[in-house]
């Protein structure tokens, strides 16, 4: 463990702020692993005055960075991706140590960072606007995109490095600088990533404050980001209540925000679907990252004709789930992130039982020394009862029946969240209905694959209480820039729009 930490520049005591130099004069926090309760390192949070200085440096760095040609900015992002490749194994192990996901998932998360850097490199030559016909003779209309400013990135513990990279790679090629406030549960991965970016920026001769860091509680450091007009865009990943708070503060100052909030993702299993595909997709979707993904499968809506056979086979899969140290390949599921997460899961199970849910199996603490382990839980419910409509960030999976496909879609859409969804069917009419405007109301809708796991090429995000934000691929880059419309007159005379005449 110490070798991994040292290779990534993590010491016993680490300052939690960076904008060209490392600072940390605030309260200290000890970081322990949910795997076994072992102390990893200590981090010193930043003070409000240190934060102000960090933000000032990030804002100053933007004034120069925005003038660098976008393809040159892309070269820097490419180098960051190359550095991540060199550190992939160590960084993945740190992700596993600090938040508890399996090592194979940690490796996948770092690969996602590398992939978004590759995507952003190509994007750096495609920040295009449109040219439009003008109603005036000898005129041309066009739109173009300019760098926006400082992007404040507030991330959650469950993807402690990938979400930062989604935002950072795109923001950097767009000409923005980034100020990162990570989850207080996973500060070490943030320090390691910032050191990687620092090295690359220094090697290129750029101000390392382009990628800044401020570790601290959300109620103080997070709110300083949300309320400061020098932060042009706030990208927040977290809970629905947290998103309401962030959105209100940012909107009050007319800032821009990306909100990536709760998910309550369902898979519809049709009697016309492939049961093998359904079982594999749902099983990983529910237990992957110990149910702590925003895209984790939370609900399964099964046609009544296949419900008994499906639930029997799913229970058999659950019974053979190997739970333990996530660094060992034989284990499919590691711990939850901390002890309060285990308590929250048990409370949720108690509430859903009181509302009429029936626990089929799981939901039991496991006595691994110092760890936060629990068995994944299957609960049979009579539809979207109140507790089912809430997102429990843990491996609790609700099973329900349906008769008609229209009923299944209504159940799928009948929750406040709208992130990810899926249908397992070989009926083209069912799949097309599911993808149509009369189908899933989520930002992500899949056919014959699960709810969990999104590729960086597509824009990521959801609707309703999920917040409406979009990150990563497609044209999500546009939110990191400011749009400008231009009218160019090459006629040699002045002609007003809408046919207005002016006699002088």
Catalytic residues: 260, 294
Of the candidates 8, 82, 56, 24, the one whose C-alpha atom is nearest the C-alpha of residue 177 is: 56
| CA distance linking residue 138 with residue 488, whole number of Å | 8
| CA distance linking residue 490 with residue 501, whole number of Å | 19
| CA distance linking residue 53 with residue 45, whole number of Å | 14
Beta bridge pairs of residue 269? 302, 424
| CA distance linking residue 159 with residue 95, whole number of Å | 8
Please say whether the beta carbons of 235 and 249 come within 8 A.
no
Of the candidates 374, 388, 315, 382, the one whose C-alpha atom is nearest the C-alpha of residue 345 is: 374
- In sequence order, the 6+-apart residues with CB closer than 8 A to the CB of 61 are 19, 177, 207, 209, 210, 212
What token pair was written down for 353? Answer: 């039982």
Please say whether the beta carbons of 299 and 264 come within 8 A.
yes
Please give the C-alpha separations between residue 211 and each of 58, 157, 283, in angstroms, as whole numbers. Answer: 8, 19, 38
Of the candidates 388, 381, 407, the one whose C-alpha atom is nearest the C-alpha of residue 303 is: 407
Residue 210 DSSP class: G
């Amino acid at each position: 463990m110490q070798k991994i930490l040292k290779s990534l520049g993590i010491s016993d005591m680490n300052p939690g702020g960076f904008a060209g130099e490392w600072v940390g004069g605030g309260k200290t926090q000890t970081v322990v692993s949910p795997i076994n309760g072992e102390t990893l390192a200590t981090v010193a949070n930043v003070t409000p005055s240190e934060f102000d200085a960090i933000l000032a440096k990030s804002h100053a760095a933007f004034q120069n960075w925005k003038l660098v040609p976008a393809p040159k900015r892309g070269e820097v992002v490419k180098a960051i991706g190359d550095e991540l490749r060199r550190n992939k194994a160590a960084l993945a192990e740190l992700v596993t140590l600090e938040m508890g996901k399996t090592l194979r998932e940690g490796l996948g998360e770092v690969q996602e960072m590398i992939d978004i850097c590759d995507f952003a490199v190509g994007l750096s030559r495609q920040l295009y606007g449109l040219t439009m016909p003008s109603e005036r003779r000898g005129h041309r209309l066009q739109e173009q995109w300019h760098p926006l400013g400082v992007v404040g990135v507030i991330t959650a513990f469950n993807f402690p490095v990938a979400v930062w990279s989604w935002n950072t790679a795109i923001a950097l090629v767009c000409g923005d600088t980034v100020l990162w406030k990570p989850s207080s549960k996973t500060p070490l991965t943030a320090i390691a990533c910032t050191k990687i970016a620092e090295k690359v920026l220094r090697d290129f001769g750029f101000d390392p404050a382009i990628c800044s860091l401020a570790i601290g509680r959300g109620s103080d450091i997070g709110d300083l980001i949300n309320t400061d007009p020098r932060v042009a865009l706030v990208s927040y990943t977290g809970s629905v209540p947290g998103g309401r708070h962030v959105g209100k503060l940012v909107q009050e100052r007319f800032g821009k925000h990306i909100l990536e909030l709760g998910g309550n993702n369902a898979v519809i299993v049709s009697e016309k679907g492939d049961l093998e595909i359904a079982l594999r997709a749902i099983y990983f979707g529910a237990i992957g990252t110990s149910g702590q993904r925003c895209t984790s499968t939370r609900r399964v809506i099964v046609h009544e004709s296949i419900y008994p056979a499906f639930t029997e086979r799913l229970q058999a899969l659950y019974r053979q789930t190997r739970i333990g140290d996530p660094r060992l390949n034989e284990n499919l599921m590691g711990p939850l992130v901390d002890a309060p997460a285990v308590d929250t899961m048990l409370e949720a199970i108690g509430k859903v039982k009181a509302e009429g849910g029936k626990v089929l199996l799981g939901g039991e603490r496991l006595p691994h020394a110092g760890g936060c382990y629990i068995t994944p839980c299957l609960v049979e419910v009579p539809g979207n009862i109140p507790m089912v409509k809430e997102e429990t960030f843990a491996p609790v999976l609700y099973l329900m029946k349906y008769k008609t496909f229209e009923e299944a879609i209504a159940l799928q859409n009948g929750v406040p969240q709208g992130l990810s969804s899926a249908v397992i069917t070989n009926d083209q009419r069912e799949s097309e209905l599911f993808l149509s405007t009369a189908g899933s109301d989520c930002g992500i809708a899949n056919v014959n694959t699960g709810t969990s796991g999104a590729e960086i090429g597509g824009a990521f995000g959801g609707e309703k209480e999920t917040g409406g934000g979009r990150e990563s691929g497609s044209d999500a880059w546009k939110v990191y820039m400011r749009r400008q419309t231009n009218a160019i007159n090459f006629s040699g005379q002045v002609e007003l729009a809408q046919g207005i005449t002016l006699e002088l």
